[in-house]
Amino acid sequence: MGMQSHVPVYSHPRAVAVARLDAVSYWYPGGREPVLKDISLRVRRGEFLGLVGPTGAGKTTLCLALMGIVPQFYGGRFFGRATVAGLDTLEHPISALAKHVGIVFEDPETQLTATSIENEIAFALENLKVPREEIIARIPRVLEAVRLEGTEKKHPHELSGGQKQRLAIAAALALQPDLLILDEPTSQLDPLGSQEVFATVRELNEALGVTIVMASHAAEEMAEFTDRVALLAQGRLVKTGAPGEMYGDVEFLHEHALRPPQVAETFYMINNYGVGVAQIPVRLDAGIAQLSALKNEHAVVIASATGLPTGRESTTPPLLSVQNLHHRYGDGAHALRGVSLEVREGEYVLIIGQNGAGKSTLVKHFLKLLEPTEGKVLVSGTDTRELTVSGLARRIGYVAQNPDNQIFNTTVGDEVAFALKNLGHSAEEVEARTVESLEAMGLLEVRERHPLALPKGDRARVVIAAILAMKPEIIIFDEPTTGQDYRGAKYILEISRKLHEMGKTVIVITHHLYLMPDYAERVIVMGKGTKLLDAPIRQAFHDIDLLASTYLAPPQAVFLAQSLREDDLGEACLLLTPKEVAAHVAGKPLGCIA
C-alpha cells in the first residue's frame, strides 16, 4: 500500500504479549453465572487473532474486557487480571487504556457521529488532547491506510457500508493503539463490504504490524486471514490453534455448533466417501489445488444426469406482479429503475444484491410502505394503490431483521392474538387461530411467558406465529440471518422451510448465500435498482461474473464445482453444496445439471 513511511510500523517481536488475560472470570450485574469463566489468553504483538464461538459464548465480553469497559463501565464482579500494553485494566481508567487499544463494533452506523470524515477521525484525538498539528498530520495517514484517501471532506453517510466500517477502523487506528479489537465488524455488511474490511484489517496487520483481535462468525474469511483462532463456548476458552488446525477439524467444529468453511466441509465429506485426503484444506485456493491433484489420481466423475432438484415451475396466476416499477426518494435517489417480476403461489424466492441494490425498497412496495413513482405493483391482480396497508398485512407477512422490534405485548399468547383482535375477529376465532399458530411454531407451552424473556430464536418464532395467525399467502424474511451464528441462522431458515411446506409463498432477502441452496428454488439478483437476473438457484449461483457485478460471490462449493469442469463440457456442472461436490469427486454423483 506504500503507507509504511507515513504510519508507524509496529515492529516489536511477536513473542511479546501486547495483551493478556490471567484466570479471568466475570459476572454482569445481577448475573447468576459468569459470562467469562477462568480464561487465560495471550495476544502476541503483531498477530491477527480470531475469536470464534456460537452466540452467547462470551466473545463480545472478552473484547470489552481487553478494553477495560468490562468491568469499569458495566460494573459486576471481575476476578483475575487483564492487562493491555502492561497496564492493568482495573487500575487504569478507560481513557488511559484508549491510548493503547482501539475497538470497532458491529454496526458502523452507531459509531459515526461527525459531519465529515476528517472530523470523525479527529474526534477521539481531540478528546485525548492530541496537539492540533499532530491530528492534522494523522488524518491523511490513516485514511491512506484504510484506502479512503482523498475523502476528508465527505459526509460519512455518503460512504458504502464497507467504507463506513473502514472509516471506523481509521478512527481507531488514528489513536495509534497497541491493539485493535473488532467485534463482528462485517455482520451488517454485504459480501463486498465484508471482503473490504477483512482485506483492510489483514493489510494493516501485515504491512504495519498492528495487533488484531477480531470476533466473527465468517468462517471462510477467518480461515483465510487470521494467524491464530481462539474458540469460546459457554464462557470458557476451549481451544486455540492455527486456522488450518482449527477449521480443519470439522467434527470438532460441529460439536461446538460452528460452521466450517465450505472447502473444509467438502474435503471432510470426500474423506468420508473413502477418497483419502492427507490434510483437509481450509482455504479456497488450497482446496482447488487439491481437487486438481485428486483429478489426476482418481477417476473423478462429472455426471450429466439430472438428479438434483431444480425448483418447480408454476402456471398459476401470480400472487405478486411488479410492472416497470420505478421509485425515487425525496432526496432524488432513484432506488428502483424499471423492475418487472412475478411471484407465484408456493414459490420460495431469494432476493440478493449488494447494500443499496434496491432489495428492501422493492419489498416495501409489496407492503405499500412505499408507493411507485412509476409502474405498478399488483397483489392477486389488484393494484396496491387500491388496497390498504392493513389489508395487505393480512395477505403478506413481514419478518424484520430484528424480531424484538415487532414485539409489543407482555405474553406470547397476547402477542399472537394482538393483530387478530384489532381486526375485529370474534373471541372464538382469535383463540382458535392463536392456538393453531402457537402449535405450528412449537410455542404453546410458553404461551404465558413474556416474549422478551425467550431466547432470540424463540422470539423470532413468536413474531412468525403472530404473522401466521393472520393466514397470509406470502411471508417475507428481510435479512433474517444477519447477526446470527450458524445455528441461529439455520433455525430461522428451517422455520421458513416449514412454512413453505405448509403451502406459503416465501421470499427471503439475505447476503448469506452459502445458507440458501438447501431452501431457495429461484433467485432474483438486484443491482443498482435494476433486476439483473431472475433464474433457478443453480443457474444464478454459477453466474459468477454477474454476481460479481453486484458485489456478490457464490459459496465456495460453486468455485470448487467449477474447478472440476472438464474440457468436453460446455458448462460447469451446476453443483451447489459441499455434499454434491464431494459425491462427484468420490465418483458417486448425486446427479448434476450441466
Residues 6+ apart with CB under 8 A from 371: 365, 384, 385
Position 458 scores a pLDDT of 84
- Please count the other Cβ atoms lying within 10 Å of the Cβ belonging to residue 96: 14
Ranges assigned E (strand) in 228-329: 228-233, 236-241, 318-328
Q: Which of 224, 222, 227, 197 is nearest to 211 (CA)?
A: 227
Position 313 scores a pLDDT of 59
Q: How does pLDDT run across 163-205, given as a tens digit for each residue?
A: 888 999 999 999 889 999 999 998 878 777 788 889 889 999 9
Q: Which of 377, 345, 347 is nearest to 361 (CA)?
A: 377
* Whole-angstrom distance, CA of residue 505 vs CA of residue 474: 5
Domains 17-250 and 318-553 share a fold: yes
Please say whether the structural domain 318-553 has been given the CATH code 3.60.21.10: no
Amino acid (one-letter) located at 22 = D
Q: What is the Cβ-side half-sphere exposure of residue 54, based on CA atoms within 13 angstroms?
A: 14
Cell of 140: 491523511
DSSP string, 217-244: --HHHHHHH-SEEEEEETTEEEEEE-HH
> Would strands 374-379 and 530-536 be described as parallel, antiparallel, or unpaired?
unpaired
Position 4 scores a pLDDT of 40
Report the length, in residues, of the chain: 594
* Whole-angstrom distance, CA of residue 88 vs CA of residue 285: 42
> Would strands 522-527 and 505-509 be described as parallel, antiparallel, or unpaired?
unpaired
Q: Which of 346, 393, 379 is nearest to 502 (CA)?
A: 346
Radius of gyration of the CA atoms of the chain, in A: 26
Domain locations in the chain as residue ranges: 17-250, 262-298+557-585, 318-553
Cell of 9: 510500523
Go through 412-429 and write b for each residue having 16 or more CB atoms within 10 A of its CB, e for each that does not.
bbbbbbbbbeeeebeeee
Residues 6+ apart with CB under 8 A from 293: none
* Whole-angstrom distance, CA of residue 521 vs CA of residue 528: 23
Q: Which of 109, 141, 135 is nearest to 122 (CA)?
A: 135
Position 568 scores a pLDDT of 34
- The CATH code belonging to domain 17-250 is 3.40.50.300
Q: How does pLDDT run across 221-273, given as a tens digit for each residue?
A: 999 999 999 999 999 999 999 999 999 999 999 999 999 999 999 999 999 99
Position 511 scores a pLDDT of 87
Contact 565, 572 (CB under 8 A): yes
Position 115 scores a pLDDT of 93
Position 278 scores a pLDDT of 81
**Regions of the chain short of the pLDDT cut 50:** 1-6, 301-309, 567-572, 594
